Structure 1
Amino acid sequence: MGSTTVPVVVGIDNGGTSNNATVLTIDGRFLVDQLVETPSEVRAGPQAAVEAMARSFDGVLALTGVPRDQVRAVGLDTPGPASATGVISSKGSTNFSQPAWRGHDIRGALEHRLGLPVVYHNDGNAAALYAHHVHFGADAMRRSSVSAIVGTGLGGGVVENGRVIAGAAGMAGELGHVHIPLANVLAPGQPVPTCACGFAGDVESVASLTAIERNLLPYWLTRFPEHPLAGEPSARAAKLVRGYGERGDELAREIFAQQARALGALFTIAANFTDPHAYFIGGGVVETAPEFRDWFLAAVREHSALRAEQAALATFALVPDRDMAGARGVALAALERVRALPTPPPLVGD
């Protein structure tokens, strides 16, 4: 950490319990090398949550010794679904469950509170953007990537020429709700998994913590009825599966093998749709011991059906600095906005 006399941008990663903030100089140096967390207060409603973000902003500036007048813009990410401009979905979301959040302009509210430009991405897009730029460095603006972030749900992002593809409504890259072929994912007789969004057989219905609790663990406990997890409450049991997987437990490895096959099916679709240079995986599923991480990444690659020409060029990798990736990703988005050139004229006139 260290102070600076050059202009900066601030990145704020908003979560269900905590905000994490970072500071990035205009010349591309992060001044924070660890989590800087404060309570997010999202369950207390929009006004309390925005005040909590402002405290996170003030706190990281105090920590780094950066004067407020050096800040040129702020990047904000939240869990989706939300529009490209930071309006929470009219149906709400897991983290923004109270009615007051539905259709709330969280980006605009923070911009008004801070009196600074605020750039918004959902948390999956933010992590995807960070992974892309760290991996490709100077070549980032000439490369493409697809990221899958496995957590309570499954987020992600599609990056083309160094920029997140947002889509018309801002909901591009909602990779968790892409339907995948299940023939090579499920075991014989295993029920078709359902997603909290109402879909059946999408990626999130297999590759997420929620999927473990709702779909995968109940099935595999019928195959391993004497397993210690059979005696645990379902929510706790789902969270314990990762630890068992790290220790090589057969039931847990069956569950994570299914998740790897689901992600492989997703990346197969991506290979035929966007043909990216890199495929990144992030989230809790890879915040594990090295042996398990390597096994899981290898399994995803094995089940991603790339053509020989694609396989020769593609990289499979983990999202780096995983806990900090969201805040750092939106800081990069804010920096790109500050550096942006004027909009070019249209190629075809009226």
Structure 2
Amino acid sequence: MFAARIRTSRRGAGPMGIAQDRVVVGLDNGGTANNATVLSHDGAFLVDGLVEVPSRVLEGPAIAVEALAGAFDNILAVTKVDRERVAAVGLDTPGPATADGVISSKGSTNFSQPAWWGFDFRGALEQRLGLPVIYNNDGNAAALYAHHVHFGADANERSSVSAIVGTGLGGGVIEQGNVIKGAAGMAGELGHVHIPMHGLLEEGQPLPSCGCGFLGDVESVSSLTGIVRNLLPYWLTRFPDHPLHHADTIRAAAKQVRSFAEQGDELALHIFDQQAMGLGRLFTIAANFTDPDCYFVGGGVVEAAPHFREWFLAKVREYTLLREEQAAVATFALVPDRDMAGARGAAIAAAASLESR
């Protein structure tokens, strides 16, 4: 449970302003499933694992909003919490979206249908539930959760940067316990930061491209999509007898790379070494831009075998160039509870919103 880690707020209220006997609900919207959690006034999450229902986002906004409402009802039934006790709802979705939860006018991977472009997801859910809904993108929500778990009672005096490695590369920047959203709500889109490629790429290795149209950004290297588009096709040419040549598709092969790396496979370790260097160069930029207290790495590497994820984190630390003064005070850590981090971070954001009311 998380109770001891959330800072207590004003007199008569629990963590970040949740009043006695009230709760907040966190909803994490994904491409296939919605996960939900409940945060009580005393700082405890009322479920320890995933509580999922299908997200149905491919069926369009109206059905997707109903699916989220179903996830909301389901988590209250699972936790036996009366609806009248819910003070607010936290929502996170994949980005890009504005700070108010309006999906990008160009859509995104999860929201590719024209009906989603410019759709006010937060507002639609708020109208459907009749409760305040607080929005963050999924990278920011996971970053917020990691920050509060790591720093506990000191969370509001600390800063952090998180890189969440998945299909793409999400992230979040936290300052004094709060998500930095930016003017349009698109701060923390760390995957699309350009990084130096000299010394990261092998001689003759093509400049990696990103689905966003950029060349040489972090996501083009440090993501599953980066493995599919750029890294694995190159490294297979260097290892002509590798078993991954026999996979049905390059994407199927890419999904097996981590398991090969856990076994010490040379090709796979080359790929993850380049991914770690990509994150290290991103964090080097962050060190000179925000100088955070902690650098978090999340995503699939968190679910890997312990020896591999520790190797990967050590590589990221090795490739992050810090000044002596920074190295003395900064820490590196993995995002905990990856599958739960989004919903829990969304709940923390909703709880924090009550403090200012």
TM-score norm. by structure 1 comes to 0.96
Q: In the TM superposition, what is the alpha-carbon distance from 1:189 to its structure 2 partner? A: 1.2
Contact 2:151-2:158 within 8 A present in 1 as well: yes
Q: In the TM superposition, what is the alpha-carbon distance from 1:285 to its structure 2 partner? A: 2.5
1:344 is aligned to none
SS at match of 2:182: coil
Deviation by residue 1:124-163 (Cα, 9 ceiling, x = unmatched): 0000000000000000000000000000000000000000
SS at match of 2:275: helix
Structure 1 unaligned segments of length 5 or more: list them. 342-350
**1: CA distance, partners of 2:356 / 2:262:** 44
1:301 counterpart = 2:317: yes
Superposed, 1:165-180 pairs within 5 Å as 165-180=180-195
Contact 1:184-1:261 within 8 A present in 2 as well: no
SS at match of 1:139: helix
2:81 is aligned to 66
**2: CA distance, partners of 1:99 / 1:26:** 40
**2: CA distance, partners of 1:73 / 1:325:** 18
Counterpart AA for 2:339: D
**2: CA distance, partners of 1:226 / 1:27:** 57
**2: CA distance, partners of 1:209 / 1:326:** 19
- Counterpart of 2:163 (choices 129, 148, 154) is 148
Superposed, 1:204-223 pairs within 5 Å as 204-223=219-238
SS at match of 2:255: helix
- Counterpart of 1:6 (choices 21, 26, 30) is 21
1:98 is aligned to 113
- Counterpart of 1:250 (choices 266, 275, 279) is 266
**1: CA distance, partners of 2:167 / 2:200:** 20
**2: CA distance, partners of 1:285 / 1:87:** 30
- Counterpart of 1:157 (choices 172, 196, 202) is 172
- Counterpart of 1:283 (choices 283, 296, 299) is 299
Counterpart AA for 1:284: G
Counterpart AA for 1:135: H
Q: In the TM superposition, what is the alpha-carbon distance from 1:5 to its structure 2 partner? A: 7.8
Counterpart AA for 1:87: V
**2: CA distance, partners of 1:128 / 1:270:** 15
**2: CA distance, partners of 1:36 / 1:187:** 44
Superposed, 1:114-125 pairs within 5 Å as 114-125=129-140
Counterpart AA for 2:347: A
**1: CA distance, partners of 2:140 / 2:331:** 19
Superposed, 1:174-253 pairs within 5 Å as 174-232=189-247, 233-253=249-269
SS at match of 2:261: helix
**2: CA distance, partners of 1:278 / 1:69:** 38
Contact 1:6-1:70 within 8 A present in 2 as well: yes
2:288 is aligned to 272
Q: In the TM superposition, what is the alpha-carbon distance from 1:192 to its structure 2 partner? A: 0.4
Q: In the TM superposition, what is the alpha-carbon distance from 1:286 to its structure 2 partner? A: 2.6
**1: CA distance, partners of 2:188 / 2:292:** 13
**2: CA distance, partners of 1:44 / 1:224:** 42
Counterpart AA for 1:335: A
**2: CA distance, partners of 1:131 / 1:286:** 12
Question: How large is the Cα RMSD of the aligned pairs?
Answer: 1.1
Deviation by residue 1:272-301 (Cα, 9 ceiling, x = unmatched): 000000000000133100010010000000
| Ranges of 4+ aligned residues in structure 1 off by more than 6 Å | none
**2: CA distance, partners of 1:286 / 1:333:** 23
**1: CA distance, partners of 2:197 / 2:87:** 47
Deviation by residue 1:15-71 (Cα, 9 ceiling, x = unmatched): 000000000012311111110010000000000000000000000000001000000
Structure 2 unaligned segments of length 5 or more: list them. 2-18
Superposed, 1:23-42 pairs within 5 Å as 23-42=38-57
TM-score norm. by structure 2 comes to 0.94
